[in-house]
Structure 1
Amino acid sequence: MTTRRIRKEVDEALLAFVDHRRPDLLAISPDLAPLLDALDALLAGGKRLRPQFCYWGWRGAGGDEAPGIVTAAASLELLQASALIHDDVMDSSDTRRGQPSVHRRFEELHRRDGLLGAPEPFGLGAAILLGDMCLAWSGEMYETSALAPERLARGRAVYDRMRTEVMCGQYLDVLEGARRGGTVDTALRVVEYKSAKYTIERPLHLGAALAGAPPEVIETLSAYGRPLGIAFQLRDDVLGVFGDPAETGKPAGDDLREGKRTVLVALTAERAEPAQAEILERHLGDPALDAPGVDRLRTIIEESGGLAACEEMIDRYAAEAAAALAHAPLAPEAVTALEELAVAATARQA
């Protein structure tokens, strides 16, 4: 099965699960329809990387085309939806995947319907609750897939660990944003737990655990997945500053306005001249930063050598992942698919 086919089947599994749950929510109250509309809109986008890494972890460890594996893997998209909704709340982001973020969507509903109170707390509350529901549904979708109970039991510890790690990574990200003078090491710690493990390494582990993989396969998947996960997030950091909004789905420079203490920012701060460092520190995290201000910070990131250093790190981590995969004791079909996914995860466009 190709990566394109897996993505299509993941889309179908997500649609089927949400459609199955839709009547239950609407039976509670038709007022819940906007929650479902917001979820439908969010789930319509995304690369489906986590389900694909889970599936190919399964196939690489000897798993077959068992009924339910795509559904179990697709449940990771509901976990991702939960993380994105909550992340946008924490970052006060206006957009996600080219449309209003969930909390902004519900702020607009509040204004449109003339509800009492302020729109902002209503939007935040609705988004937090929808994110919580996605988290609960991710577990439900996993547990109700057609995989055998003994397989699901093998994967449960990995799934639980992954959910804990991403929440810890989110907190560390919030903490770094509230501190001054973050280092490359502290930024990499956030990368590892908020993104690298959660996006690639743990989904691979989950698929392999579901297939009953031996320890040596798990170790090989880590040797590939951890560095690739870091390269993926570093690429995302670069796109957050230099990416095309039509590709990323977010306004250019949003990471700068949100004050994200990324590896890219830390590398720039290490290399910048004192005057450049002062400008970077003064404007990083300014929600009113305009387009010329974004361009000024971009220039500092480039001229200081921060961008080049980050690109070098991406290449180094991607090469480490490729070397690990070249000697991996995995099914050949899985190796080919994981090579393709490595390119997709580190591409210079979103």
Structure 2
Amino acid sequence: MVHPSPPANVLPSPAPEPEGAAELRAEVEQALEDYLLRRREDAAAIGPVFAEAVDSLVRFVLSGGKRIRPTFAWWGWRGAGGDPADAQAPAVLRAISALELIQASALVHDDLMDASATRRGRPTVHVEFAGLHADAAWSGPPARFGAAAAILLGDLALTWADDMYQDSGLDAETLRRCRDPWRGMRTEVLGGQYLDVLTQATGDASPGAALRIDRFKTAAYTVERPLHLGAALAGAPERLVAAYRRFGADIGVAFQLRDDLLGVYGDPEVTGKPAGDDLREGKRTLLVALALERAGEGPARAAITGALGDPDLDPAAVERLRDLFTDLGAVQAVEQRIAALTGAALDALTAADIAEPAATALQELAVRATRRHR
């Protein structure tokens, strides 16, 4: 039996999408498709087998996703005075669409490091290429080939993100203004990823370590820096940049905490990933940290530490851990942290001078990001 995500039972339905959200997603996806198909021609010039490998990356990028990062960047730009009717708007759209290639790189590498089998209901990139190797009966271990392909394609996505951004059509002055958020974002997500694998290796299960990972691995490049980028695109004053970054840091961490709950309690048919994978991978999430903190030194702690990081953890064991986390009050504590972070973020937003309709759109996005079910 799979538990529904806790917020499905206690929270109202997510806020409606901002006006034009579906159209914005479609425009981002079209910009990505146009760019990737052009770059596939570069790959084909190297060789047809490389073009076929690139096809896998293209499918991965275009196979779905919520397009959260470009959405926050767009509304950050609009809130700082950006005008969608301006001649610069198509270049802005292309520039913020490049954020999805950073996301693709992070996901491909993250799936490899976590040994995840599925993403968005499909085999992960390293699994796909390991299967290709095995089916063709090539020499060497299939898993090693799959890992190599995933590393290279993830690196290619990151390289193309920078290319797409630089070639978006933004003028030199705008690119200069945007240098700090663009550079900072790429460094922070890699630093956060390193902190993640380090805590798994060292066994650091403190709440502080979990929140630091959330801050840099997710919050910075999911909400905070995209908003910062949007503000810089519009030439926003430092006061608005600071408000955006406070809002983005809090909402980004809340977004990751919701993801942590979904990783344990979510329905795989909805999330696209097996329930309990974070536990099998030994992730030291805030949920786990708070459960261990509340468990003391008794049998509950032994049950958690014995199961955490076990790749063979079966559904019954995952179910027992779910119940244990709930009984210890860890789920409620994470929900309370999400609510507190969301409230603080909305306070920062309310106090800032943000143009409409962006102010309302960002409020709605905050609620949707933290009350989602997938």
Taking structure 2 as the reference length, what is the TM-score of the superposition? 0.92
C-alpha distance in structure 1 between counterparts of 2:157 and 2:179, whole Å? 17
Is residue 82 of structure 1 aligned with residue 105 of structure 2? yes
Tell me the amino acid that sits aligned with residue 278 of structure 1.
Answer: A
Query: Take 2:45 and 2:164, find their aligned partners in 1: how far apart are those partners?
Result: 20
Aligned residues: 350
Cα contact 1:220–1:329 (8 A) shared by 2: no
Map of 1:21 onto structure 2: 39
Give runs of ≥4 in structure 1 deviating > 6 Å: none
1:128 aligns with 2:146: no
Q: Is the 8 A contact 1:42 1:97 kept in 2?
A: no
Instruction: Choose the corresponding residue for 1:325, options 349, 353, 372.
Output: 349
Aligned to 1:313: 337
Identity %: 51
| Counterpart residue identity of residue 51, structure 1 | P
Q: Are 1:160 and 2:183 matched, yes or no?
A: yes
* Aligned counterpart, 2:141: 118
**Residues in 2 aligned to 1:33 and 1:299: alpha-carbon distance in whole angstroms:** 47
Counterpart selection for 1:291 from 298, 315, 323: 315
Q: How does 1:1-350 map to 2 (within 5 A)?
A: 2-43=20-61, 44-65=63-84, 66-272=89-295, 274-350=298-374
CA displacement, residues 61-101 of structure 1 (integer Å, 9 cap, x when unaligned): 11122221111000000000000011111111111111101
Give the CA deviation at 1:147: 1.9
Deviations 1:130-185 (A, max 9, x none): 00000000000001112222112211221111100110000000011112241101
Q: Say whether the 8 Å CA contact 1:61–1:213 is kept in structure 2.
A: yes
Greater Cα shift, 88-97 or 340-349:
340-349
Task: Give the distance between the partners of 1:213 and 1:132, measured in 2 at CA.
Answer: 32
The Cα shift of 1:348 comes to: 4.0
- Which whole-Å deviations, capped at 9, do the CAs of 1:81-124 have from their partners, x for residues lacking one? 00001111111111111110100000001011121111011000
TM-score between the two structures when normalised by the length of structure 1: 0.98
Question: Equivalents in 1 of 2:108, 2:367: separation in Å?
Answer: 27
CA distance in 2, matches of 1:69, 1:227: 25
Question: What is the CA distance between 1:321 and its match in structure 2?
Answer: 1.1
C-alpha distance in structure 2 between counterparts of 1:19 and 1:90, whole Å:
28
Structure 2, unmatched stretches of 5+, are: 1-18
In angstroms, what is the RMSD of aligned CA positions?
A: 1.1
Query: Are the structure 2 counterparts of residues 348 and 58 from structure 1 closer, same or farther at C-alpha, using a change threshold of 3 Å?
Result: closer
Conserved? CA contact 1:267–1:306, under 8 Å: yes
> Amino acid of the residue matched to residue 255 of structure 1?
D
For 1:33 and 1:297, how far apart are their aligned partners in 2?
44
Which one scores higher on RCO, CA 8 angstroms, separation ≥ 6?
Answer: 2
CA distance in 2, matches of 1:56, 1:46: 18
